[in-house]
Chains A and B, each alone.
Chain A
Amino acid sequence: MAVRVVRQTVMNETTQLRVMDFDCPTCASTVERALSNVDGVQNVEVHYTTGRVEIEYDDDVADPDAFAQAIENQGYTPQPA
């Protein structure tokens, strides 16, 4: 319980990116997994239909530049939302 309280006090930032070139629904889930493996990422949602990528991350740990890199590594082109 104590751990939970500490986690909640950490201010999480949210950012959005857009990927226009997803070519299949599983590609979106792969990107979602890849992003959730980036350090400091708390929560990720990647939507195949709109190409919207929503990332909730811990400001102290995560480097936002790494998000775009992670998407590029999967072969897709991230854009600002």
Chain B
Amino acid sequence: MNKRSITQYYRKNRKAIVTASSGLLYGGGWSLGHFTGFDTASAGILVLAAIIGGYDIAKTAYYEVTNRTLGIKTLVTLAAIGAIVIGEYWEAAAVVFLFSLGSYLEGRTMRKTRTALQELLEMTPDTATVRRDGDLQEVPARDVEAGEVVLVKPGGKIPVDGTVVDGESAVNQAPVTGESAPVHKADGDEVYAGTVNQEGALEVRTTGAGSDTTLERIIRRVEEAQEAQSPTESLIDRFAKYYTPAVIVLAIGAYAVTQNAILSLTLLVIGCPGALVIGPPVSIVSAIGNAARSGVLMKGGEHLERAGKIDLVAFDKTGTLTKGETAVADVEGFDVADDEIISLAATAEKKSEHHLADAIVDAARDRPTAATDGGTAVAHSDAASAEHRSVPDPDDFDVVAGKGVVAHTDGHEVVVGNRALLDDRSIDIPNHVAEYVRGREERGETVVHVVRDGSVVGVIAMRDELREAAPGVVAALQDAGIETVMLTGDNERTASAVAGEVGIDEYRAELLPEDKQTVIEEYQADGHVIAMVGDGINDAPSLATADVGIAMGAAGTDTAIETADMALMADDLERIPYAVKLSKATRWNVLENVGLAVLTVTVLLAGVLTSYVTLAAGMLVHEVSVLAVILNGMRLLRH
């Protein structure tokens, strides 16, 4: 080993070397004094142990004092110097050694929580193969520009965010979404930097590289979340500001009264609020880090602490409990052909952006036969309408929010909507129609009536399949003692059928979008701490109103990440019981850590005041309590 590498080795391991040397000298000095009569030599070695171990501590203490922050190192330095002054060399060496050992272990364990996220960042490859100037070039991944096409070999990691332009493959998106099952990707699909291309070669048109990727954004958000103080942390911080000076005053006061130097020095050592200030942040950082690796983004300790109190979870139905892929299940014309019903409805709904409207228009386009509306369909013969039937525009149309649409086409007035809309317009619903509708609704389908010039000519039944995971997720929440409720714009009968299928406790039907917010406020007024699960865009207001807003499928949609308190990167409902349980575990963990810290200080204080605990023992217990809260908090990394 040359001189340079020795210096480097020393620098890197300075803390370990200093602690070990101080420990060896301490052990040697103590043995010498204990087993032989060389008291002076023993004292000398012990003082040396204190100086070697204490040099760095005293240096930082000096900075603390000059910067007017009062920290634990100042207290330890004062205690060690004081002990040497009164001739308690063994105590001085012990305090310094135990403190160094404790800090060394604390630094090492904290490093583990700090590196939990770094592992995610290392997922992104450093270089990318780019198609440039007609050939392939290997360039640093951060230098790839938006619009450039990157080649990803099978088995390779995707270096940029982008859209697949060629090839087909299965991609493991675990680093971004936490899903372990690979996702099929083909032309037009989005892929994320840091995910793994498992099967075929892909060509990806870059949308973001370097620090402008979803993974980088997630990690930045997670770090911000970890750095944000939770209410418990700020409370303790404020408390600690007064606590340390108070301990010094107490130590001086104790000396003035008792003239017992050891007693007041011990007070200094045990008076550090170590475990109290370290415990809660470690719990929260570990929990947020764990969540991030499972594809759940928690916005901060504050949200996490609140989520720990959830006793009710409200689910939006469409797109949350269901797949959000509404499709027409049945069309029934009454004295009018089914095809005519669907094309009439499609024309009326064409300009609406409602998901039911989309389903109707899609169904009309996919119908193989029957003219949509005279010859207009043939007239627009662009590429799209060659495969799909085109749907003509209505002459005019009006959306009645939460009820349906009213449109005019070809001289007819067409109304497509639910019962409420027909009631509003005093349109009579014949018995046979009502009966048909009831039958479909009892199967959990959503039905709209198609009305031409005031009379019901047909109905369209639509179905949105439940997510396979939904019943299990609801059951898991119920097992954890959490109530569940489904919020939906569907009518009573459809809602009841779906709620029955999912096994959810309660449902609220026929809600207009703004009603969902009101329902949440009602539950809150009843004393519930409520989490709302939705898609983060349409449900943004109710997510914001709920105590904890949980957005699904947030990867790629920044708005969802911004508005929600928790964001599930994948459309994976099963993360919800996990997130709720993790929050509860975190809340307990924080309480345990605070409890342990307070208990330790109380017992130590009692021990010191009754002279049972002296300097070295006080330091030992203090350091053990700090390590205990760190290790307890870190359990959440593996929850």
Contacts and interface: CB of A to CB of B under 8 A. Distances in A.
Contacts of B64: 26, 30
A23 B63 contact: no
Interface stretch (B273-281, B335-343, B466-474, B536-544): B273-281
Contacts of A29: 69, 71
Contact of B71 (A20, A27, A37, A75): A27
B103 A50 contact: no
B227 A49 contact: yes
Contacts of B63: 30, 33-34, 73-74
B523 interface: no
B59 interface: yes
Sorting the interface of chain A by its residue count into under 10, 10 to 19, 20 to 34 or 35 or more gives 20 to 34
Contacts of B69: 26, 29-30, 33
A15 B73 CA distance: 28
Given A20-B114, A20-B115, A24-B103, A48 B281 contact: yes
A51 interface: yes
Nearest to B244: A26
Nearest to B103: A23
A27 B60 contact: yes
Contacts of A22: 107, 110
Contacts of B56: 75
A47 B114 CA distance: 11
Contact of A23 (B14, B107, B117): B107
Given A50-B114, A50-B285, A24 B227 contact: no
A50 B60 contact: no
Given A24-B277, A27-B71, A49-B282, 7 more contacts: A21-B107, A23-B103, A24-B278, A26-B69, A30-B64, A33-B63, A75-B59
B111 A24 contact: no
16 contacts: A20-B107, A20-B115, A21-B108, A22-B110, A24-B278, A25-B281, A27-B60, A29-B69, A29-B71, A30-B67, A30-B71, A47-B226, A47-B227, A49-B226, A49-B284, A50-B223
Contacts of B107: 20-23
B227 A75 contact: no
Contact of B114 (A34, A51, A74, A75): A51
Interface string A69-81: 0000111010000
A44 B59 CA distance: 21
What are the 10 tightest A-B residue pairs by CB atom distance, in nearest-first order?
A: A26-B71, A33-B67, A23-B103, A23-B107, A21-B107, A23-B106, A47-B227, A49-B285, A20-B111, A51-B114
B281 A74 contact: no
Interface in A13-68: 20-27, 29-30, 33-34, 37, 47-52
Q: Is the interface of B mostly helix, strand, loop or mixed?
A: helix
A77 B69 CA distance: 21
Interface of B: 11-12, 14-15, 56, 59-60, 63-64, 67, 69, 71-73, 103-104, 106-108, 110-111, 113-115, 117, 223, 226-227, 274, 277-278, 281-282, 284-285
Contacts of A30: 60, 63-64, 67, 69, 71
A23 B106 CA distance: 5
Contacts of A20: 107, 110-111, 114-115
A47 B227 CA distance: 6
A55 B72 CA distance: 25
Contacts of A50: 114, 117, 223, 226-227, 285
B110 A23 contact: yes
Residue from A34, A73, A75 whose CB has the most chain B CB atoms within 10 Å: A75
A57 B488 CA distance: 53
Contacts of A73: 59, 63
Contacts of A48: 281
A14 to B, nearest CB: 13
Contacts of A49: 113-114, 226-227, 281-282, 284-285
Contacts of B274: 24
Contacts of B15: 21, 75
B182 to A, nearest CB: 31
B15 to A, nearest CB: 7
Contacts of A47: 223, 226-227
Contacts of A33: 63, 67, 69
Nearest to B59: A75
Contacts of B277: 24-26
Contacts of B284: 49
Contacts of A27: 60, 71, 73
A1 B42 CA distance: 66
A24 B282 CA distance: 11
Contact of A24 (B67, B106, B223): B106
A74 B73 CA distance: 12
Contacts of B110: 20-23, 51
Contacts of B115: 20
B114 A24 contact: no
A75 B60 CA distance: 8
A1 B282 CA distance: 44
A25 B60 contact: no
A65 to B, nearest CB: 16
Contacts of B278: 24-25
A69 to B, nearest CB: 13
A22 B113 CA distance: 12
A25 B117 CA distance: 20
A43 B15 CA distance: 29
Contacts of B103: 23-24
Nearest to B236: A25
Contact of B67 (A23, A25, A34, A52): A34
A5 B618 CA distance: 55
A27 B278 CA distance: 12
Contacts of A21: 15, 107-108, 110-111
Contacts of A75: 14-15, 56, 59-60
A75 B12 CA distance: 11
